[in-house]
Structure 1
Amino acid sequence: MTINLAIVGVGKIVRDQHLPAIAADPAYRLVAAASRNGTVEGIDNYTSIEAMLSQKPEIEAVSLCMPPQYRYASAHAALSAGKHVFLEKPPGATLSEVAALETLAAEKGLSLFASWHSRYAPAVEAARDFLSRTRLHSVRVVWKEDVRHWHPNQAWIWAAGGLGVFDPGINALSIVTHILPEALFITEATLEFPENRDAPIAASMRFSSASNLDATAEFDWRQTGKQSWDIIAATEAGEMVLSEGGAKLSVDGKSVHEEPEAEYPALYRRFAEIIAAGRSDVDLAPLRHVADAFMLGRRKFVDAFHD
C-alpha cells in the first residue's frame, strides 16, 4: 500500500529531514504541500491546509511541521477530513489540545502519531537494553547548545508556547522517558527567562522516582563551541554515556554502539506501521515533564537576548 501524503509547514526541518526521508520510503507518495512561506518542487502547493484538503481529496495522511502554537487547528482540520496525522515534536502547545486530537482520531478511526525523533537515534535502544540489565544509581542530563546556530531569528520559538530551550530539551526528555526502567517526576526546577522574551533560555531540573532515583537535567541555549547532548547514568555495571543526542553509547569510556543517524526514516516507517495497524502512537510523557517544569519551576530573569 502506498500512502498519499501531504506536508504542512515547509521550513528548514522539512527540507533537511522530512523530504529526504519521504522520498526514500516506498510506503509514501508525496502529493501536496501547504505553507505560507515555502513550496516543494514537483507537487501541488497551497497556501493553507484548508485549500489543500478541499482541492486534493486523494490525500490520505498529513505531516504537520509548523510551530506547535499553530498546530491544533491544522490537525483538527486534517482529522475531520479523514486523514491520518503525523505531528512533529513537540506534538502541540498544550497537553489538553493533544489529548483532544487523540480522542478525535479514535472517534474517526484514524492514526495520530506524536513523533519524538530523538527516540529513534541509533544508540537509544542499546542504552535502554543496557539499563534494563543493571541497577541504576543516578542520571544526569546535559543538553546545551547555541541557539544562534540552530534557531537563528526564529521569533516563534521565543513566544509563549514556543517552549524556548525546552524545544531541544524535550528531545532529551523523550529519550530519558523511553530508556529508564521507571518513571520520573520533577521535584524542583529553575527556568531562566531573558528579560525581553516569553520563553526560557536555560533550565535546571531535579527529578525523583518511586525508588528515589537521583536525576538532574541542565538545558542551556547559550553554549558556544562544542555542543553537549549527553545522558550520563551511574550504574552497577559502570558509567553509561549516551552522547551526541543518542548517536553514540559508551560504558566506562569504551564504545558500545555507534551507527549513522537515521531518525526521520525510522519515524516515517513507524507512521506507516501504525496506519497499517489501525492505531495511534501518542506518548505525552516528554511534554508532561515540560508542563510540570513550567508549573513547578522558579522563574529567574536574566539579561536580554538578541539574535
Structure 2
Amino acid sequence: MIRIAVIGVGHIARHEHLPALKQSPSFDLVAAVSPVPVDLSVPVFESIAALMESGIAVDAVAICTPPDRRYMLAREAIEAGWHVLLEKPPTLTRSQAQALRDLARSEGVTIFAAWHSVYASAIPRIRSLLSDIDPVSIAITWKENADKWHPGADWLWRPGALGVFDAGINALSILTVTNAEPVVFQEARLDFYGDQQAPARAELSLTGGRTACPITASFDWRHDPASEIWEIRWSLPEGDTLCLAKGGAHLSRGEHVIPLEESREYAGVYRHFAQLIDTGESSLDLRPLDLVSEALAYGARRRH
C-alpha cells in the first residue's frame, strides 16, 4: 500500500479524492493537511512542515488546494521525497510545471497531473472512433454555475485565478487527449463581471487535426444551475455526428446511444498514479493549460 496524504480538504477533496482513496486497493490515507480545522478519520496538520515533523510515514501526496498554491506545496513535497499528484490545473503556468518536473526527476519521484475528465469511460471509445476519421468541426459547450459547485470560493476570481477555465479546462483536456493532431489557439473573447479579476465567460476559436478543422468552445460559469451543459460535439463527414454529453457519462453517434460503463473518473486517476509510481515514471500533460494560458494572455476582454 502506498501511504498518501491529501493536501487541501475542500469540496473536491471531500467529494472525489477521499472517496476514491477509500476504495483504492493501492493507497492508504494516513494524514491530511489543511490550514482550517477539518474533521477526518486521520491526523490533520496545518502545514506540510508540521506533517513532516509528526514522524508519520508518507510516500505520496495529492495536492487539492486552489491552483495558485500548488507550485510551492509541490516543491516542498518533492523535496521531502514524496510522489506528487496535482489536481487540475497542475500549476498556474508552464514554467512552474516544468520546474516541478525537473525537480521530481532529480529527486527520483513521480509527478502526475490528474486531468480527471480523461478517465471518463467514454474517452477510449471516442479515441477509437476518431482514429481514422477527420472531424469536419468540433463544438464545445461547457456551462455550469460556480456558486453551485464552489460556494463561497473567492479564490476563483482573484488575480491569477482561471475563473471559468477552472471548469472549462476539463473540456480542453478531453479535446487534447482525443484529437489526433495538436490543437492550436486562434482567438478568444473573455467576459469579466464586477470587480472579479478572472473571467466568468469565454468564447474560444481553435483549430486542430490534419485538416485544421475549426473548433469552438463556449464556457460559462454564470449559467442557470438547473440546466447545466457539459457537451462536446464532433461533426463528422457525410452529416454524421459524435456527441459526448454529461461531462463524459453519455456518448452517442447520430441517433444511436453507445453503451458505457459507469464513469468513475477519480478511481482511474488513482489507478494511473499507482501505476506511475510502480514504474518510476511521471505524467505531466500541459496541453490544456497551454490553451488556457494563451486565451488569458491574448483574448479580447469585456468588462460588465
1:9–1:38 Cα contact (<8 Å) kept: no
Q: Counterpart of 2:299? A: 297
Letter in 1 for 2:197: D
Q: Would you say how many aligned residue pairs link Structure 1 and Structure 2?
A: 301
**SS at the partner of 2:100?**
helix
1:223 offset after TM fit, Å? 1.3
Moved over 4 A (4+): none
Cα deviation for residue 125 of structure 1 reads 1.4
SS at match of 2:20: helix
Q: What is the match of residue 305 of structure 1?
A: none
Q: Corresponding residue for 2:30?
A: 31
Name the residue aligned to 1:285. Answer: 287
Q: CA deviation at 1:261?
A: 2.3
1:46 to partner: Cα distance? 0.6
Give 1:100's aligned residue: 99
Structure 1 residue aligned with 2:251: 249
Aligned mates of 1:123, 1:211 — CA distance in 2 = 24
Alignment partners' CA distance in 2, 1:236 and 1:281: 34
Mapping 1:140-289, distance limit 5 Å: 140-209=139-208, 211-224=211-224, 225-236=226-237, 238-289=240-291
CA distance in 2, matches of 1:42, 1:56: 18
- What is the distance in 1 between the residues matched to 2:64 and 2:165? 17
Q: Deviations over 1:69-91 (max 9, x none)?
A: 11111100000010000001110
| Aligned residues of 2:134 and 2:211 also touching (Cα < 8 A) | no
C-alpha distance in 1 between matches for 2:191 and 2:118: 26
Q: Is the 8 A contact 1:192 1:301 kept in 2?
A: yes
Q: Alpha-carbon deviations, 1:99-149, whole Å to 9, x = none?
A: 100000000111000110000111111111111132311000000112221
State the Cα distance separating 1:251 from its structure 2 match.
0.5
What is the Cα deviation at residue 213 of structure 1?
A: 1.1
Asked if 1 retains the 8 angstrom alpha-carbon contact of 2:201 and 2:219, the reply is yes
Q: Please tell me the root mean square deviation across aligned C-alpha atoms, in Å.
A: 1.2
Q: What percent of counterpart residues are identical?
A: 40
Q: TM-score, normalised by structure 1?
A: 0.95
Unaligned runs of 5+ in 1: 303-307
SS in 1 for 2:233: strand
Cα deviation, 1:174-210, whole Å, max 9, x if unaligned, reads: 0000011111111110011113100000000101235
